[in-house]
Amino acid sequence: MRDDYLVFRDTLRAIDAASARLNRDIRTASGALLLSRTRAVRTACSNALRGVDSARRDLLESPYAVRSPLRARNDVSKTQSELRLALSQCVAEFEQYADPARASAIRDTGTRSASDAVTVAKKFERAAEAFLGSLGITVRPYGAGDGPNPFAGSRAN
């Protein structure tokens, strides 16, 4: 469960990274670079949207899920539904901007859908990690500075 969740979390983090690159370049980049950045956001949202159902299955339909408190399961289910909606909106909005004729329109409207998707993704991450924590499964945060991750291979890495 933890490993499957971490793979999905990494997929969600790709939206954050693509959105950050777009936000960084939105005012000064050429139309071609904006087109590339918007396509990257669309692809990241699309990839995450495809993984939402498997993440739900991996978390809530596992045999261990019944051991968790009902509130934790409900929180994951609710935020997963919100995440699906935010990702769908992100894909739809950035699909429009992927057209070369509309690439510069993103300068005027900003990146609201990408920001919404990132916000909801972080909310989902908190709910999923609380759910896993209620089962006794710890999820190390990004950048945990306490040495090598024992789950990432040998300790020599």
- The 10s digit of each residue's pLDDT in 86-104 is 999 999 988 888 777 776 6
Report the C-alpha gap between 155 and 157 in whole angstroms: 5
Q: Do 97 and 36 meet the contact criterion of CB atoms below 8 Å apart?
A: no
| Confidence (pTM) | 0.82
Report the C-alpha gap between 109 and 52 in whole angstroms: 27
What are the structural domains, with CATH classification, of the chain? 2-137 (1.20.120)
Three-class SS of the chain? CHHHHHHHHHHHHHHHHHHHHHHHHCCCCCHHHHHHHHHHHHHHHHHHHHHHHHHHHHHHCCCCHHHCCHHHHHHHHHHHHHHHHHHHHHHHHHHHHCCHHHHHHHHHHCCHHHHHHHHHHHHHHHHHHHHHHHCCCCCCCCCCCCCCCHHHCCCCC
156 pLDDT band (50/70/90 cuts)? very low
Stretch 128-157: mean pLDDT: 68
Q: How many CB atoms lie within 10 A of CB 99?
A: 11
Q: Could you give phi then psi for residue 147, rounded to 5 degrees?
A: 95, -175
Tokens representing 102? 């509309």
